[in-house]
Structure 1
């Protein structure tokens, strides 16, 4: 069973990349700073079954193909644990909308980020904060602005839709919601689709922001 030596440190940190000299050196640096509670996970092996509550997932985006990135997003969406996602080595062409689609996204580091800034960013996330560049914060503000005239402030939600929206606010995955509400995952997907349509939102993040403001 894993144990934390320091509450401010990650429970466990997965460096998800392709093995190389550079990734090995980074792994050694992370182990030195985080008490060896770090392991390298090959990015092509898409498996969230070893993830536990409190884990940090550090993805090397330069090592992920586009399809692999999408597959990881989908797999993590169904993970029932409360983890945190960090992306580093983000190439310039990687769009903001793709970044915010990652489940539990908590930290962003571009290709020019140095080792010390990366370490400090990880520690910031461990303290329960977000570590986003200004451009990402500006994008989130623009996309999640609840005063947007196209968003519906007054919506007649069913009891089940309110239950599911409440679970989304808690960060629950589709599978977790299905288990908690004793319904199928396909039924959950249908309810979420209807919710997005009613609220005039495009994704789970926007739905949660809507709920935080308007749902009592």
Structure 2
């Protein structure tokens, strides 16, 4: 497998887990492939280490259970805008379980190999989500069934550019693809997405897609999919 050429050297890669020979070996392999330092973060170190860095955080679900998972989740939540988060070694999470991690942008299953993991990290560092299509569909269905916070569209005013970006978001386009199609920078796309999320009162890309599917017709745009 070829080493991945990414911008990951600009980021800190943190692995929230417990010390073990397996984790030590994984960290060594990741560092070799992504050409960036990977640091182990134990649960009691989360606040200290995440507050002094910015990057991608892998959460090893196989290392925690029960109340410890809740503790880890609560400890990570304050840093949702500072880092990119992904669940690692995830079992077959239900949509409800996944929705309880609203700041998560990626999911890696136990059976995923190193190449798949590195490719997902590369995409996430480029601003994309890394969720299996089935999980994405399950999440959208979950939000449809539990949409208790209806929004009055009359109070929302999306600009023409925000409408364009929202429509492309629904097609599954990545930030880079949206930027290329609209001849703007990825930074501009991210800024628009931030404003869109704030206006329509959603926390992540999946919730925005759900909102768009139910409201694009209101703003005169057809959803194709």
Moved more, 25-34 or 53-62: 53-62
**Is structure 2 residue 37 aligned with structure 1 residue 37?**
yes
**Is structure 2 residue 113 aligned with structure 1 residue 114?**
yes
State the alpha-carbon separation in 2 of the partners of residues 150 and 96 from structure 1: 16
Could you tell me the TM-score, scaled by structure 2's length? 0.61
Q: Which has the higher helix share?
A: 2
2:124–2:130 Cα contact (<8 Å) kept: yes
**Is structure 2 residue 152 aligned with structure 1 residue 154?**
yes
- TM-superposed CA distance for 1:207, in Å, is 11
State the alpha-carbon separation in 2 of the partners of residues 106 and 149 from structure 1: 21
State the alpha-carbon separation in 2 of the partners of residues 128 and 103 from structure 1: 16
- TM-superposed CA distance for 1:49, in Å, is 3.3
> CA-to-partner distance for each residue in 1:179-201, whole Å, 9 max, x for gaps?
xxxxxxxxxxxxxxxxxxxx9x9
Could you tell me the TM-score, scaled by structure 1's length? 0.63
Q: CA 1:64 to 1:121, structure 2 compared with 1: closer, same or farther past 3 Å? A: same
Q: CA 1:34 to 1:143, structure 2 compared with 1: closer, same or farther past 3 Å? A: same
- Corresponding residue number in structure 1 for 2:90: 90
State the alpha-carbon separation in 2 of the partners of residues 79 and 168 from structure 1: 21
Q: CA 1:126 to 1:120, structure 2 compared with 1: closer, same or farther past 3 Å? A: same
State the alpha-carbon separation in 2 of the partners of residues 36 and 28 from structure 1: 10
CA RMSD for the aligned pairs? Answer: 3.7
User: Runs of 5+ in structure 2 lacking a partner?
Assistant: 156-193, 220-225
Moved over 6 A (4+): none
1:85–1:103 Cα contact (<8 Å) kept: no
